[in-house]
Copies of this chain bind each other. A is one copy, B any other.
């Protein structure tokens, strides 16, 4: 296989970056994981480090070099080659000897391609953020939400964590129901309860508010797992509402039956979120085949194969899935 055309698919996410080295037939010959690879999140230098680290690890097993790679396809949120946004990565790749083509794809498209080769279908990702897309003719042709923590991402890990924080603050402020989330959040944040009151407000609440404002807002997503283990009505209500929001986002792009590739931790397992999600979709849920995927690595590899001009069949999909699994 030493003279095969080589492609690199890169799946750059919020917490890590995966690189898949593949032949045009979907034979994975290397896989690597690097740090965060999205320049919007961590700046161009750190993002390029994350991508290049993952690529170096993917090239290592076969001792190939970037000079031998025809196509690098980077799947990530918010980057589009046609806008000339990719210079931060193109320059670094060129410095490492890459003289092929660099293409960008949406992270949602990589998620979809990780679960289905059907030209028509849907993907929903609910991790720290939340977004749903419709794929038609192998391209995204409708997008819902994915508007970030301040304006949208309804039903996401941030959304759940934010609701958890607000429920606890309201419990401690006697403005909402008591919830076991309160103990969970205080423990998680290392706050010792202190009932001393000042102007009718406990020192515990003051400390919690100070601690939460000292965090970056997006870090509230770290409180989301507490909702899944709490098992009380306040937590269940947050989870159900999250599922309904995710269903509404999907419903906004639904146009008939198809595969529904599910990425991100929030909808991955059967939980009250997924129950509420399916319940809210109602009859439409029957036309959807739920396909959970752990990340967009397979899809990024297949999108790279496609960008290299090769045909992506269900055999290509099966081969890449199987050969990639040997590396992780």
Contact = CB atoms under 8 A, between A and B. Distances in A.
Contacts of A80: 198
Nearest to A205: B147
A183 interface: no
A119 interface: no
Interface in A139-155: 139-145, 147-148, 150-152
B252 A174 contact: yes
Q: Please give the count of copies of this chain that the complex contains.
A: 2
A169 B249 CA distance: 13
Contacts of A140: 199-200
A77 to B, nearest CB: 11
Given A148-B213, A151-B209, A212-B151, A143 B200 contact: yes
Contacts of A148: 209, 213
Given A152-B166, A217-B217, A175 B212 contact: no
Given A199-B106, A199-B133, A145 B212 contact: no
Given A144-B175, A175-B252, A150 B213 contact: yes
Nearest to A217: B150
A200 B141 contact: yes
A134 interface: yes
Contacts of A134: 200
SS of A interface (majority): mixed
A188 interface: no
Contacts of A295: none
Contact of A151 (B139, B166, B198, B199): B166
Given A166-B152, A209-B148, A212-B150, A199 B143 contact: yes
A159 to B, nearest CB: 12
A184 B141 CA distance: 28
Interface string A176-216: 00000000000000000000001111000000010011000
A253 interface: yes
A165 interface: yes
A244 interface: no
Given A152-B166, A166-B152, A217-B217, A173 B147 contact: yes
A248 interface: yes
Sorted nearest first, the 3 A-B pairs with minimum C-beta distance are: A142-B200, A140-B199, A151-B169
